[in-house]
Structure 1
């Protein structure tokens, strides 16, 4: 009896040691995949691979495998995916097992997201020994790339983006919007005139003028009974203009037979383009303290009282108080009649480039500042204006760079504009604002 119990105990210990020493491999087919999201749901097949040459089926039935989401390395919401897999016995996997992952469709372009999945092998009950998983790919990183829908032509485009202020540093500031309609001349003898319409709202570069705006203060300090020092302190102020523009521009396009090319991707259209433009400008003028101070110190072989008397000539002096800081807003208007104008466009399946230049008569209703920029009045002034605009749009992403410069010849007042925006076909603009209105 004792012998029987001894061999039975020895068998159990050997079986337990054998089970504890057993290893297997349960992993994904790879450690990283890329998935492109679309407006519709995307189904991604995933492969689970298992290798267990030394483990019996009876042992595998005591364990289960599950796939968990590593939330610390995942930045997509749970509503953005669904994994069609529940806990399963290791014995049911075989050498390969297919599971399905659904990526929820999204109509709004988004940045790249990441979903991290990891495999967990565990015993069904506490009496079973833990198995060691030595698979190479126990984690799977799924990179979800945002889809990019190419523009459906360039005839009707709307733009939403931001202005850049390069004077105060390269940074994005405030909203930019525009709508452009580009109707090419039709083919045939009676269709040689088209038109270009642009409605826009932008912000010009900040203009700063700090010349001549300095406040000086002179102080005297005693060093000894017979010596002193004179300190001249200079504070600097500046006038700053910020101009927001809302405008409407229209040009007839009269085709000119220049820049002919038989290559479809290099076809450049060149037009004579007189124009009419109305611009409403909201200008904010601020008198600001630059918070910049300089000090000039001079040693004098005079006592403090003697130095003051020598500086003032015996007259009493008062220290000028700091000038008052203020901000004022003006409404201004401009009417431009472009007489000499050209319009050039290069458009294909990859890119759209448009350049427009114009020279002509301008009727400006400007706020004219007087008496050190403290008083002003609206005046109508006739002038000669010149302007140039350029639009560059990538067809796949819709990313658009736009630059503009406008100035006058008689009363110079330059306006520089640079914007970065995304172009939409008119039928897509509602989808862009959908998260805002819902």
Structure 2
């Protein structure tokens, strides 16, 4: 009876399970941890969204069970958003399902469509649920390049030709977590054409669609490609766009057959989010885009501060064009450690928490993910602390002694 359960044996400890105890120990010893690890937005949810929640929760009728598909008004609001933002027309009754965040939606979709031994093509590195949703469902994951460059289509064709059985689905994630790669409509068009020819579903994670920094090139949806809806479901989230991570509101939209399968699985598992939360989410989607613009400006400013200050400290950070993350190669003098040991070293020696790249796949082990979840002053302090470890030269008088630092 002491044997580890079958599904648990297939799941390694979550990426932060290795790091969190070290951070907790350091905090208990009085160390001021500047945590750039978890992508947990620190900005408050906009006031009008909170106000709508407060208003709605006072009505006792909203305290009853909700519906796992999402209330009609919420599904209509999401369909309207897709029409405004992407020019994609959706039927809110058959092509939209509200989820408890995109993570839950992705996991339940994997459960709905995967039979034991089914092969799924998944980027590596990528957000863990993209792989482990299928692994938990008994599927087999074959790695794909995360970068939507020249090698992607060759790898896609190779993966299809050399997989037995043939893959049932391809996972896309642009703007990407953790790499911040972006894709354009030409890329999506080529992928859709290939997948339709080979009867492969596309599952697209578009959670960072509104966190982009080139105002002239907002990230597209794969559903903008004519005919993509025949084989595609796309997942979005309100967590980053509206600083609503704890509210757990997301969506799956697209192909009716896939949406129906997801809705059927969900009907056995949940009654949907608390109704006042869904009503507040409607207010967010139907409200002004000014709040989204403000969130985007904050992340852009923090990105610029991080790239500039870390660069002066001796750690060159590639400039991400989207998401709330930077995907940074481990400094050369520490590359031999790998991402997990380097992340531990950063906490112990600098008080800076990061996400080790290996937690997103084996091909991420020479990288660190840095989240823009601290304010400018804290990011600059992190850079000063890191300069000491990297042996950077210059004025180090502002480095905070870790043993005596306080928040």
**Which TM-score applies when normalising by structure 2?**
0.21
**Which TM-score applies when normalising by structure 1?**
0.20
Q: Which of structures 1 and 2 has the larger relative contact order (alpha carbons within 8 angstroms, sep 6+)?
A: 2
Q: Normalized per residue, which structure has more strand?
A: 1
Q: Normalized per residue, which structure has more helix?
A: 2
